[in-house]
Amino acid sequence: MIKVGRIIKALAGFYDVALENDIIQCKARGKFRKEDIKPLVGDWVSIEILPQNKGYILDIQPRKNCLIRPLIANIDQAILVFSCKEPDFSSLLLDRFLAVIESQAIQPIICISKMDLVDENDPIFDMIFQYRKAGYAVYPFSSYKEMGTDIFETLFDGKISVVTGQSGVGKSSLFNRLNHELSLETQEISKALGRGKHTTRHVELIPFKHGWVADTPGFSSLEITLTPLELSQSYHDFKDYSALCRFRGCLHDQEPGCMVKKKVEMHQISQDRYQHYLQFLNEARHRKPKY
């Protein structure tokens, strides 16, 4: 029997494929290895079902998007968890994440964790203001003090979400916080999530609020693998203005008549964010092509 489902977990050559009421443990057919195509968590696949809830992946459907770090496909939104402290908030790293996420047309949602560690005069509040001004959804919260966590009641509804961010920012702690919300049939998985302070090692989609959400291992750097042109059109606000730049394919650097630069001069785009952009542009220009 052949059916279509979504890969929700990939570990040691086995893929858990979720069908409507079942999870089938699958192996990939030799064909994929030969063609060097790796099924990813989030992929829609057709599988051949064998006895005892085992099966084989036959085909991978075209992806609407794909992230390399974390390795996951077909995502609706990325919850970018950045802590205000421990580790310190870095707008350079956040802008890097945003460039990568937005270039894949994935909706970014910025969540600022550990808000219990700052007082009301902390510079993080200006940062929150700046990113909201740039048009991003920004939600400050604390998993310890039950501050701002109510937003997560609605945020995940019906969506495929990935929770990503630097190591130690509190992604898994947020998961544990949401844990009691997870429906009964996921109890077994929930227990597995009770690892608390241990570092997350693999990507797995968990059913939550009519959708799916993945906790992911954190990392501290992220390579820009975009071309200069892709980068110049990744930020949603830059992209809007690009149409008004004098030259098509304007990289918003030295070109005359650049609307993005004009908006920076008019303080409508933050100077910091533009400087970060130029730094990434430099990286994108000097990146050696991979063969």
Ligand X SMILES: Nc1nc2c(ncn2[C@@H]2O[C@H](COP(=O)(O)OP(=O)(O)OP(=O)(O)O)[C@@H](O)[C@H]2O)c(=O)[nH]1
User: Is the Cβ of residue 85 or residue 262 nearer to ligand X in the bound state?
Assistant: 85
User: Is the Cβ of residue 101 or residue 250 nearer to ligand X in the bound state?
Assistant: 101
Q: Which of residues 182-211 bind Mg ion (CB under 5 A)?
A: 200
Residue 109 binding target from Zn ion, ligand X, Mg ion, none, CB below 5 to 8 Å by type? none
Q: Is 166 in the site for Mg ion (CB under 5 A)?
A: no
Rounded-to-integer distance, Cα 229 and Cα 55, Å: 42
Which residues of this protein are in contact with ligand X, per CB under 6 A? 113-114, 116-117, 142-144, 167-173, 197, 199-200, 217-218
Residue nearest to ligand X (CB): 218
Q: How far is the CB of 86 from ligand X (least distance, A)?
A: 7
User: Is the Cβ of residue 200 or residue 242 nearer to ligand X in the bound state?
Assistant: 200
Q: If you compute the radius of gyration of the chain from its CA atoms, what whole number of angstroms results?
A: 21
Rounded-to-integer distance, Cα 285 and Cα 161, Å: 31
Q: Is 172 in the site for Mg ion (CB under 5 A)?
A: yes
- The total number of residues shown for the chain amounts to 291
Q: Is 104 in the site for Mg ion (CB under 5 A)?
A: no
Residue 117 binding target from Mg ion, Zn ion, ligand X, none, CB below 5 to 8 Å by type? ligand X
Which residues of this protein are in contact with Zn ion, per CB under 5 A? 245, 250, 252, 258, 260
